[in-house]
Chains A and B, each alone.
Chain A
Amino acid sequence: METIPLNSPDKEFIREVQERSGQNVLTCYQCGNCTAGCPYNFAYDISVSRVMRLVQLGQREAVLKSHSIWLCASCQSCTTRCPNNIDVAKIMDVLRHMAREAGYATERNIKAFGDAFLESVEKHGRVYELGVTASYVCKTGRFWTDIDLAPAMLPKNKLSIKPHEIRGKEHVSEIFKRFRERDIAKENR
C-alpha cells in the first residue's frame, strides 16, 4: 500500500480548493458515506473520502495526480448523501480543474474525450457526434474504439453525417475565446 507523508501541508492548496468550490472541506469528519455510495469506488485509486482527507491535509500532488478525480462522473451520490451538506462532487470538479491547469491528466483518454467534445461545440455551436469520435480517435490513436457498434448504429440513422451548424456559432466560439483570454480560473468559484 502506498503511503503518503503528511508533513508540510500545502495551506495554499486547502485555501484554493475551499475558495473555488465554495465548500468548507474542514467539516468532513470521514464518515465514509460518500465512499460507500460511490459507484466508481471499484475503479478509484484513492477513495473519495480519502481524497477529502488529503485535501484537508493539504496534499496537493497526491490529490491532483490521482486517477479518481478523472473517473468521477459527477453522479451526485456523494453530494446527496453527505451529512454535513458538503458538495463533494463540486470539490471533485474543482480538483479536475486544478489538475488540468497544473498539466496533470492521469486518465488521458477521458481528458481527450472531453477536449474533443468541447472542440466540437466551439466549432459548430452544437455537438457533432461523428466529429467528436474522429477527433477522439486522432488524439488517442484508438482506431477500433466502438467500431463494434457500427452495425447496430448505422442502419438506425442515428448519427448525423453533417454537423448541426447554428447561426450563432460565432457567439459560442467567442465564449470559448474570451474564456481563454481572461484566465478566469483564479476568479472562479
Chain B
Amino acid sequence: MNVQFKKGVLDLCVLALTAWEDRYGYELAVAISSKFEVAVGSVYPLLNRLTLEGYFSTYLRESPEGPPRKYYKLTPKGHTHLMELVSEWNTFTHAVNELIKDGVGK
C-alpha cells in the first residue's frame, strides 16, 4: 500500500474502531495491521500516544479466557477529535473522488 496514504489516517482508524465499543489493545493492533500492512507492534505506541493526548482512557476488564485485559475507551475529547477527523476525511476524499471522476471517468 502507498505509504503516503497511510500517513495521518491511522489515528482516525484507531479512534473509529472504538467509537461504539471499548476494545482491548490486541484487538485494535491486529485489526489495524491487517488492513494497513503496518507492524502490529507499532499500533501500541499509537494507542499510548492517543491515551497521553487524552483521547483514550484505559481500564482492566476480566476476560473469559484468562487474566484481565487492558481496554481502551474513547473519552469525550476523543469523540470530538474523531468527529473532526471524520469530517476532514470526508471533505478530502470527496474532493479527490471528484477529480478522479473528471479525469479518468471520461
A binds B: no
